[in-house]
Amino acid sequence: MPIHHISPAELESRREKGESFDLIDVRSPGEFARIHAVGARNLPLNTFDAAQVLAQRDMDAPPIAVICHSGQRAAQAAGRMEAAGCEQLLLVEGGTQAWQRAQLPVVRGKGSLPLDRQMQMVVGVFILLGVVLGYTVSEWWYLLSAAVGLGLFNAGLTGICPLAMVLAAMPWNRSCAGATSCSVPQPPAQS
């Protein structure tokens, strides 16, 4: 069954009418702790196991709605869910950014900056460092800026950004605050 796209406003309208959803936020725990849609639970994309999520669901479980910061990671998670055989799957268009723009209820807390902003800061520092060191120390340092530019081009071309993966694994992005789950609960051990 294909992935159905849904706007944050439509999802919230359907929830207000009594329809229930399993809203899964696939951002890092740090991003999730900073802000997330009310009712969402956190299953970070870098550890997301679609088969495990589906195995832990009841037959009459509500549809899954997947959300992230802007939609790209949610689309990856939704693709994994679809490949694992999920039949009731919604992709929240525009992610948490669109959710906020629609002024829908969110939970705010302390957490890390969104991964895209962290990446912009790191890339900016490396480019600036390459230019400054290239000008003051050795022209070879300009290659640092070129390498970062090539990495960004590759990320844009393939949709895969190793720097974002490294940042997602950093300790400040793995912290889990609050009562909402940060991982798929493990089934009870059988004796």
Place of tokens 């059988």: 190
Active site residues: 68
Q: What is the DSSP letter of 105?
A: -
Give the DSSP H or E segment for 91: strand 89-92
Q: Would you tell me how many other CB atoms lie within 10 Å of the CB of residue 51? A: 13
DSSP string, 27-61: S-HHHHHHEEETT-EE--GGG--HHHHHHTS-TTP
Measure CA of the first residue to CA of the last residue in the chain; give whole Å. Answer: 37
Q: Is 63 left (phi over 0), alpha (psi -120 to 50) or beta?
A: beta
